Amino acid sequence: MVKRAKSPEMPGFIKPQLATLRSKAPTAGYLHEIKYDGYRVQLHLNKGKVKAYTRNGLDWTKRFSVIVGAFDIPGQAIIDGEVVVVHEGRTNFFELQAELAKGSQDRLVYYAFDLLWLDGKDLRKSPQLRRKELLKALFDTHELQAPVLYSEHLTGDGQQLFEHASKLNYEGIISKKADAPYRSERSEAWLKVKAVHREKFPVIGFVKDPTGVAALYLGKQEGKELVYMGKVGTGWSRTISSQIRKQLDTVVSPKSRLTKPIKKPKATWVEPQFYADVEYRDITSEGLLRASSFKGLSRK
């Protein structure tokens, strides 16, 4: 009597593969996806039971119960993806945080972009393209619908997609080597290219530190109004910080020049005579700069 080989046991949480930051996207041999601005989540489907894990392996099944409930399929699967909130046509991390803070799941969406395990078979050694084909087949076979979505990809020149994504104000793209296996580490098999915006904003105030500035408060002229755009607190050396302070000390104002004043107890207000050259990733739903970095200061 021949004994039937036992199916391998489904693994627990798998440490996620991470992308390496690059300034340009590869042009050949890679799949290219839009970079989502959300929480990385790994879903474990095991014969009707579903669990959701964060990128650090925390069990967030209850927090994502609506998404978990949408994967009502038989068999086994381990899916890698991202939970997001889509706001004004693109994913928005601050909107996602706000939803989770109030315990709401109505706006949560899960973009599935990789398949690591399927019905007793470990797919991590399979090529990236094959894993995505199987993931797409899983979605099609079971007619899965929102709030769970298959993450589409493009092949070919990644730089063209990146430039298009940048124009649409997406966060950037992820490029994945088509023939590479899944590895639980940061590697060149996955590359991320981030869209960065750069603009000059009038400096409306600053926070002192012993030798220079700890942060600059920024504004923006919108018609006749000077509106608040947030602050920047990185991007300068101690020497540059001291130089900025000397320049701003010459234009100190007794009050804020914003059309709608804001309360900032540590602020020293200035006349908007200097402009900060700032790189930033995005503008939040509150109209503030996100992930800003100082690049230079110029006189009006």
pLDDT (tens digit per residue) in 258-279: 999 899 999 999 999 999 999 8
**Helix or strand (DSSP H, E) at 7:** none
Where are the chain's structural domains?
19-34+155-195, 37-150, 197-299
pLDDT of residue 237: 84
Question: For the chain, what percent of residues have pLDDT higher than 90?
Answer: 68
Total residue length of the chain:
300
pLDDT of residue 166: 79
Average pLDDT over residues 17-27: 90
| SS3 category, 249 | helix
| SS3 category, 111 | strand
Q: Is the pLDDT of residue 9 over 70?
A: yes
pLDDT (tens digit per residue) in 144-195: 999 999 999 999 888 888 888 877 778 789 999 999 999 999 999 999 998 8
pLDDT of residue 3: 53
First to last CA, the chain: 89
pLDDT (tens digit per residue) in 38-93: 999 999 999 889 999 999 999 999 999 999 999 988 999 999 999 999 887 888 77
Q: Is the pLDDT of residue 5 over 60?
A: no
Q: In CATH, what class is 197-299?
A: mainly beta
Question: For the chain, what percent of residues have pLDDT higher than 70?
Answer: 97
Confidence grade of residue 4 (pLDDT, cut at 50, 70, 90): low
pLDDT (tens digit per residue) in 110-142: 999 999 999 999 999 999 999 999 999 999 999
pLDDT of residue 229: 97
Q: What is the pTM of this model?
A: 0.72
pLDDT of residue 197: 79
The CATH number fitting domain 37-150, selected from 3.30.470.30, 3.20.20.70, 1.10.3720.10, 3.30.750.200: 3.30.470.30
CATH 3.40.50.11440 fits 19-34+155-195, yes or no: no
State the Cα torsion 216-221-259-98 to the nearest 10°. Answer: -70
Distance CA(75)–CA(120), nearest Å, equals 9
Confidence grade of residue 94 (pLDDT, cut at 50, 70, 90): low
pLDDT of residue 168: 77
pLDDT (tens digit per residue) in 219-230: 999 999 999 999
**Least reliable range by pLDDT among 19-23, 98-102, 178-182, 252-256:** 98-102
Confidence grade of residue 97 (pLDDT, cut at 50, 70, 90): confident
Distance CA(285)–CA(247), nearest Å, equals 32
The residues, any chain, with a CB within 8 Å of residue 255's CB and separated by 6 or more, are 261, 269
